[in-house]
Amino acid sequence: MCATINKVIDLAKTSGLPLTADHEGRLAFGEGLETVTPAVRRLAEMQEVLMAAGADGPDELYYMYRDVCRVQDKELIAKYGLRYDVTVIRPGQIGREFIKTAGHYHPLKPQTEFSYPEVYEVLAGKAHYLLQTEPDEDGIDAILIEAVAGDKVLIPPGYGHITINPGQEYLIMSNWVAADFSSIYGPIKELGGGAFFEVAADGEDEEFVVNPKYKPTPRLSLQPVKNYPEFGLVSGEPMYQAFLADPDKFTFLTHPEKHF
Determine the pLDDT at residue 202: 74
User: What is the Cα–Cα distance from 108 to 183, expressed in whole angstroms?
Assistant: 11
Determine the pLDDT at residue 203: 67
193 Rama sector, left if φ>0, alpha if ψ -120 to 50, beta otherwise: left
Fold topology of 9-258: Jelly Rolls (2.60.120)
Q: Is the predicted pLDDT of residue 66 greater than 50, yes or no?
A: yes
Q: Which residues contact 182 (CB under 8 A, 6 or more apart)?
A: 107
Determine the pLDDT at residue 2: 43
| Range 71-97 burial, b when 16+ CB lie within 10 A, else e | eebeeebeebebbbbbbbbbbbbbebb
3-class state of residue 68 by DSSP? coil
Determine the pLDDT at residue 205: 65
| pLDDT, the chain, mean | 95
CA 115 to the chain's CA centroid? 17
Q: Is the predicted pLDDT of residue 48 greater than 70, yes or no?
A: yes
- Identify the CA nearest to 22 among candidates 116, 88, 107, 99: 88
Q: Is the predicted pLDDT of residue 4 greater than 70, yes or no?
A: no
On whether the CB atoms of residues 193 and 104 are closer than 8 A, the answer is: no
3-class state of residue 190 by DSSP? helix
DSSP code, position 38:
P
Q: What is the pLDDT of residues 178-223, one digit of tens each?
A: 999 999 999 999 999 999 999 998 766 679 999 999 999 999 999 9
User: What is the Cα–Cα distance from 199 to 184, expressed in whole angstroms?
Assistant: 25
On whether the CB atoms of residues 169 and 91 are closer than 8 A, the answer is: yes
Q: Is the predicted pLDDT of residue 89 greater than 50, yes or no?
A: yes
- C-alpha distances (whole Å) from 147 to each of 45, 83, 117, 139, 154 are 26, 22, 18, 26, 11
Split at pLDDT 50, 70, 90, the class of 99 is very high
How many residues belong to the chain? 260
Determine the pLDDT at residue 1: 42
Determine the pLDDT at residue 192: 98
DSSP code, position 257:
G
